[in-house]
Each structure stands twice: as structure tokens, then as C-alpha cells.
Amino acid sequence: MLKLLAPDVKIITTQKGAALVEGFFGIKDNIQVVKTGDELDLGKGKKLKFTEIPNVHWPETMVTYEEDSKILFSSDAFGSFGVHKGCLFDDQTPDINKQYWEDEMLRYYANIVATFSPMVLKAIDSLSGVDIKMIAPSHGLVWRGNPKAVINKYLRYANYNKDFAEPEICVVWGSMYGNTEIMLNAVLKGIAMEKVPVYVHRVPNVDPSFVLSDAYKSAGLVIGAPTYEYGMFPPMKYNLELFQKKHLWYKKVAFFGSYGWSGGALKDFESLSEKMKWDTLNPLTFKGHPTSEELKKGEELGRELASQVKNIPSKKKDENY
């Protein structure tokens, strides 16, 4: 688009960026390749300094720092989803919208960046000591009032898949005929007894990006899925495979689900949970409609998971946002 408006514009990018520009747009001319530490004097006191932060999120990602105004153009790092609602800057957003932006930042992180958390930590490390007055990412709010807040959030999110996350539970469930749904209510009753915050998502009704976001931050997960053709109910399998791609590791997890004759959902769950290094409670599977004894067990399952999640040491909340 920029090339259409200004055909003579020079593209400044990394070596990997140059290959992508050619691959995506067929552009080979007027490209200047830069690397970490390179500087570009724009005149009038403005100087750009480049730092490569590969794989946050694509391989060519680089941040650009303008020394005079102390602005960090951070590319995919420190971005958010969300619609601007009339405000471009964090210091313009009314307090009532702050939770919205926090949710959208986490949803962006979980869906776009989570797989690359080690690179995020490395990138944050490489920026330590840089005096930053404003962070202008390619997506979402521009952070002018409190740029440190977005760095702290990213630091927190990057640790979710190498450490325990928030002491909360994300319940993901699906049901064709309602049998697994009956058990869901028993499990939720058990969780409620321990007063642990809970998010409940039905698949495939909820967009997987929202499921992923709540599951990513929660230390505890509940997966409720019936058997379908000797395996797991496909929409649930899709969501769990997404969890695997985004490295939702080290969760405490409870599984339940109804089957008709052979079962099979549990086998798929076990194989996926092993790949994600999950700490699982005894699974609860049942034939058709759950009995009252099985429902009691469901309640106990929810309560046990919630009590374990409650006892995970909570990370200190960052005060800056």
C-alpha cells in the first residue's frame, strides 16, 4: 500500500524481512538491509536504532528505537487485539475500558505470541536499560502514559507456559446430547465450593481465540468431552491441539465425559495431556447419562481441582496498569 502511494519509498528491514518482502510482494529493489546495532540518521536530530527480536512473532521481527523522542516502534511485540474505541493512546482510554484492553492484550499474546515466549523474554532482556517514553506496536494501543505496564504484562504472560499461571480455572466443555453437560454442572458446583474464579466455554460455540486466552492464563483446566467415533468430540480435539501449539504447559487438569459403548475421548485426552506435561486428576468417564454416584464424583473432582489450584502460590499482581 505504501509502495502504491509512494513508489520510491525505501524499505528498511532485516535480511529475513527482505526475503519476505520479495516472497509476499515481489519487491526486490530499493531495500536496505539492517541488523542489530545499526543506526540510521534521519537528520533534524532524529536517529533510528535497530534491534532484531526474531520470532516475536515472525522470524524477521525487529524493533526500532528513536533516540530523540525515546519512542520504541515495537512491531508485533507489546501488541493487542481489540478495536480502538476512539482512543489511540493508553492515557486516553477511560478506566472502564482498561479491563477490555487487558483482556485483548492477553488474547493477542495467547494466540499470536505464546508459542514464542522464550524469545519474548530474550527481547525484553535486550531492551533493559533503554529509556522508553512510548511504545508504538503494530497492533492495538500505543503506550504513552505508562509504557512499563505493557512490558510488565508481557513478562507475566511469557512466564505462564514455563511456570504456574493464575490461580483460576478455565472449564472447556462440549456435549451432543446433554449427558456430559449434566456432569459439567456437578463439576462446577464442586469448584464453586472452593470459591476459585472460573471461566466456562462451550465448544464449538465459542471462538477458540477466547477459549485459548482464558485457558492460557489459568493454572487449572477442566475438559469435559464425550466420545465421538472412538475418539474425542472433534471440536474439543481441535481446541486442545491449539493449546498444544501455543504451549499451554504445566496445567492442573480434570477430565470428564460420557460415552456410549467403547469410549475413546479419554485416550485422545491422555495423549494430548502427556504432550503438554499436564498434571491430571483421576478422569471421570461414564456410560450415557451419569448416575447420582457419578455426579457426586464429579462434584468431588471439581472441588479437588479447585483446592489444588487455590494452593498454587500466586504471582504478585503488577501494580502499574
Ligand X SMILES: Cc1cc2nc3c(=O)[nH]c(=O)nc-3n(C[C@H](O)[C@H](O)[C@H](O)COP(=O)(O)O)c2cc1C
Residue ranges that bind ligand X, judged by CB under 6 A: 175-180, 226-230, 258-264, 288
Question: Judged by CB, which is closer to ligand X: 62, or 225?
Answer: 225
Question: Judged by CB, which is closer to ligand X: 70, or 289?
Answer: 289
Q: How far is the CB of 300 from ligand X (least distance, A)?
A: 20
Q: Which residues on adjacent β-strands are paired with residue 39? A: 49
Question: Judged by CB, which is closer to ligand X: 12, or 182?
Answer: 182
Q: How far is the CB of 205 from ligand X (least distance, A)?
A: 14
Q: How far is the CB of 232 from ligand X (least distance, A)?
A: 10
Q: How far is the CB of 259 from ligand X (least distance, A)?
A: 4
Q: How far is the CB of 177 from ligand X (least distance, A)?
A: 3
Question: Judged by CB, which is closer to ligand X: 25, or 230?
Answer: 230
The rounded distance, in Å, linking the Cα atoms of 220 and 36 is 40
Question: Judged by CB, which is closer to ligand X: 227, or 239?
Answer: 227
